[in-house]
Amino acid sequence: MTGRSHPALPDQPGRGDSVWAEPVQDYLDHIQVERGLSTNTVAAYRRDLAAYVTYLNQAQVAGPEAITPVLVAGFATALRHRGLATSSINRMVVAVRGLHRFWASEAITATDPAHDVEPPAIGQRLPKALAIDQVMALIAAAGAEGPEAGPVELRDGALLELLYGTGARISEVTALDVDEIRRLLGDDDLGLTLVGKGGKTRVVPVGHFARAALEAWLVRGRPALARRSAQPSPALFLNARGGRLSRQSAFHRIHQVATRAGLAADISPHTLRHSYATHLIDGGADVRVVQELLGHASVATTQIYTLITVDHLREVYRMAHPRAL
């Protein structure tokens, strides 16, 4: 690879001449909306993947399906030859591995050629979770309980209650149709069926607060937004024009509500999923039960939340025990 600067990827996927623009942008949207990464982190991924695209173009690779494990390993080798720091190489390889894992999961490619390309070992990153009182403040800031609550406030309140009450991914919630929720509200013992990654389904319980918020949205809020569209949508959550609420729009709404609540700027739908899992573990739930509720393929993914709990317990011990310090 040369030492020249790398061009940025197009801001609008699909509008540039590059075959890489849209599939790479799909991944960047995924890490922002689904994984809740910060704007700065997404920008770093964009720069790293721009370097990867430059490498692929120099190798005259026709498109995602033409990438081989040898090419991915060659990218890592080229980075070492440029004399980059190990931490920088690690970050860029992680970005490439994430990109290929996403492409394979979305059937953009049939295989994952980066699966066996290992980055340097890094420390485990614990997910961020809100305290219970912060979750309550976030939900309250949606304004669904206020006397002036309109359709948007009722929708946002129901969205937040459902995300926190089920631990669902934002893509799973925005994919729900209204008929599924009407069946749920008609049977107190009926769980909500969610379709997760790879089309895998799971059934999760829905508590009283989420049910009440959903009922308020369906009765008092959704009809007003539905009337704004000439083509009725089956979606549970609607946007201001009466169409299905997108993942990106839901992300921005939650960000706005979090700002109104005075919470951190990087709160995302995934923050509520982390909070759901952490609060369950803190409350004594078995990690394998939480694994099923979250739809994790492996319990190892879920066990990261036990690290948060141990850290919390250690802090409480240090503050409360007279002989801890």
Active site residues: 169, 197, 270, 273, 296, 305
149-172 burial string, b = 16+ CB within 10 Å, else e?
bebbbbbbbbbbbbbbbbbbbbbb
Q: In this structure, which amino acid lies at residue 217?
A: W
Cα separation, 175 vs 196, in Å, equals: 10
- Residue by residue, what is the 3-state secondary structure of 43-97? HHHHHHHHHHHHHHHHCCCCCHHHCCHHHHHHHHHHHHHCCCCHHHHHHHHHHHH
